[in-house]
């Protein structure tokens, strides 16, 4: 139902089956979703930002035409694999490698961690690119489809909170990536990461704000019915002061 209502293609242009919304409208929707369920809102924003933006902004026209309509409709989801066991999200320290094989593409090998929706249909993988002779070409980005030989979704990373967002490791054992799967240019992985994460941080704030507003709403509701010795809790001066402080901070 979320896909039918366009929530998996919030900022995808209408020509690809999305809603074509701007940041302001997207933030408003995520706030409302978060007021209902923070995990649900996080799933939606991860797909729309970290998942879709690399394809939308750095994929070829053929890739976009082929994938975006289905992704915008929620027929499959998109994920983003950057973080690693040692490097965390420090792109300069990642160890996943993409070894170029003449004109046939690359072989991707490494391990990613703490990836929301690692099981998604398509995954953007950030890797350090090398020629067969070991010459480095910096960090590049590749789109890998689930089911590609050598790609394995590993064990879940247990975290605090938002347990409905399953974060798995992602293991790549000589995963083949053809030339059409590269996102952006050779060595242009920094741009892909910065684009996804900069907007992703904005949407993270929207999710947090929506959840906070809902919590404040519940505080007011409870204070309005809770009886204490002097009357209703909401009529107590200290309660009013605290609620006013919370409201002003939001």
Q: Where are the domains of the chain?
A: 14-201, 211-249
At residue 15, φ and ψ (nearest 5 deg) are -65, -20
Beta strands in 146-232 (DSSP E): 151-156, 167-177, 182-183, 227-228, 231-232
What pLDDT digit, counting tens, does each position of 161-186 carry? 776 778 888 999 999 999 999 999 99
Q: For the whole model, what pTM was predicted? A: 0.89
pLDDT, position 49: 95
CATH 3.40.920.10, domain 14-201, yes or no: no
- The continuous run of DSSP H or E covering 43 comes out as helix 38-46
Summarised one tens digit per residue, pLDDT across range 192-249 is: 999 999 999 999 999 999 999 999 999 999 999 999 998 999 999 999 999 999 988 8
How would you classify the pairing of strands 97-101 and 122-130?
parallel
Report angle CA 100, 102, 108 to the nearest 5 degrees. Answer: 25
């Amino acid at each position: 139902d979320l896909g039918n209502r366009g929530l998996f293609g919030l900022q995808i242009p209408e020509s690809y089956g999305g809603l074509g919304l701007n940041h302001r409208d997207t933030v408003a929707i995520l706030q409302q979703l978060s007021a209902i369920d923070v995990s649900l809102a996080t799933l939606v924003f991860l797909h729309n930002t970290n998942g879709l933006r690399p394809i939308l902004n750095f994929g070829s026209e053929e890739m976009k035409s082929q994938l975006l309509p289905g992704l915008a409709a929620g027929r499959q989801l998109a994920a983003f694999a950057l973080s690693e066991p040692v490097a965390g999200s420090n792109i300069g320290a990642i160890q996943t490698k993409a070894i170029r094989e003449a004109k046939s593409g690359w072989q991707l090998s490494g391990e990613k961690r703490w990836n929301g929706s690692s099981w998604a249909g398509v995954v953007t993988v950030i890797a350090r690119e090398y020629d067969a002779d070991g010459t480095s070409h910096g960090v590049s980005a590749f789109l890998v489809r689930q089911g590609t030989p050598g790609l394995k979704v590993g064990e879940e990373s247990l975290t605090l909170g938002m347990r409905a967002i399953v974060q798995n490791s992602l293991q790549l054992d000589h995963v083949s990536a053809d030339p059409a799967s590269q996102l952006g240019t050779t060595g242009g992985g920094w741009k892909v990461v910065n684009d996804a994460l900069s907007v992703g941080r904005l949407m993270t704030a929207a999710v947090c704000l929506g959840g906070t507003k809902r919590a404040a709403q519940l505080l007011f509701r409870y204070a309005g019915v809770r009886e204490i010795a002097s009357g209703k809790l909401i009529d107590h001066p200290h309660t009013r002061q605290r609620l006013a402080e919370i409201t002003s901070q939001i």
